[in-house]
Amino acid sequence: MGELEILQKLAQLLKTFHVPYLLTGGYAVTYYGEPRATNDIDFLIEITKENKKALSQILRSLGSGYIFDKNSINSIADQRTEFNAVHEETGIKIDFWIIPHPDFAVQYKRRMTKKISGEFISLTSPEDLILTKLSRCKQIFSERHFRDCVGIWHLQGDKLDKNYLKTEAIKRNIMDLLVDISQ
């Protein structure tokens, strides 16, 4: 089983169990910007009481070929920001990034639904991907995150909602980085 099959399986399970999600990370960067290697699959999710139960069922539904902390779902609380599973045979890691409400609701409303290898998948918008990566760069600079943003900016060009980007960049105190990627 390869990355695309794992991605498809997870997207189907998230839909089946009615867990809103957004594909992000390297897959979203490759879709919107410059292709790059990734050995993980990143999803943004919001944890609710209902989602917590569904996520536990999803992890159990993956089967024995996946390694994960069986207590990770039960221990998810406000202080947790991520949990993951690893496909044992390939070593592909699946990261579930927990986004608090209302941030998730805003990003989910702005999502893009794209067909990837025959499966309709919800992706974070290119603007929200840029903002997330630049916010991380503000905390600890990452050349890879910065290059990802430059690629998305230049390849998406006029398709980007630049007013939204500027407004959010000012709120997040990352306007300097937004200016840097646009040059």
Give per-residue pLDDT as tens, 117-165.
888 999 999 999 999 999 999 999 999 999 999 999 999 999 999 999 9
Confidence (pTM): 0.91
Q: List domains and CATH numbers for the chain.
A: 3-124 (3.30.460.40), 128-181 (no CATH)
**Angle at Cα 102 formed by Cα 101 and Cα 107, nearest 5°?**
105
